[in-house]
Amino acid sequence: MENNKIMIGGREIEYSEYVQKMKEYYWKCFFSEFSKICIFFVIFAFLGLIPEYLIALLCLMPLRSHGGGLHFNHYISCLAVSFSFLSGSIILAANIMPPKAVMLPILLLCILAGYFLVPVTSANRPPATAVQIQKSKRTTVVLLVLFFALVCICPANGWIYIGYWTVILHIVQLAIARGGKEVKRNV
């Protein structure tokens, strides 16, 4: 491979072409995600749940940006599922508060599942390189281990439960997204 070419998905492309496609993809994602964050802020402000929303968002953003997840072809579908996801984390945290003896083994399973499930990338994104895939796996595991450590050292409270349910729902949607990719690949 020449210095100005990169191997992606079994074909060689110009490195500058790949960089340009990634820049376009990141800008599109930025504006889409920023608009959803603003819309959700207004909705959760109306519901009086801004702190809960911010905690769920704080937990989700690094996991989602490094590991991917469900992707939709239409903005409204993405908006509806994202809102369901965030509100689901908040509602579950308010109603189901398992003891640490239950939380910790489940989080260990989430760490393992997270490693094997990420990355789940959008069809609109240029394919990930082998280096990017490994970085995604490492970063996801580090983030989940840090949350596991936080659960170990902090007393159980509403914020921890929001993070806990955000992690679990994130792993579930990764599994759904991965399963959907496998089905599409085998059809």
pLDDT on residue 187: 40
Return the percentage of the chain with pLDDT > 90, whole number. 68
Q: What is the DSSP letter of 49?
A: -
What are the domain boundaries of the chain? 5-186
Written as six digits, the tokens of 174 are 């990764």
pLDDT of residue 136: 96
Q: What is the pLDDT of residue 156?
A: 80
- Peptide bond just before 127 cis, omega within 30 deg: no
Q: Under a CB-based contact definition with an 8 Å cutoff, are residues 140 and 118 in contact?
A: yes
- pLDDT, tens digit, for every residue of 12-69? 666 677 677 777 877 888 888 899 999 999 999 999 999 999 999 999 999 999 999 9
CB 147 within 8 A of CB 167: yes
Q: Give the residue-averaged pLDDT of 134-139.
A: 97
Q: Are 103 and 92 in contact (CB under 8 A)?
A: no
Q: What kind and span of H or E run contains 167?
A: helix 158-186
pLDDT exceeds cutoff 60 at 127 = yes
From CA 70, how far away is CA 117, in angstroms rounded?
12
Q: What is the pLDDT of residues 4-27, one digit of tens each?
A: 666 656 666 666 776 777 778 778
Q: CA 119 to CA 142: how far, in whole Å? A: 14
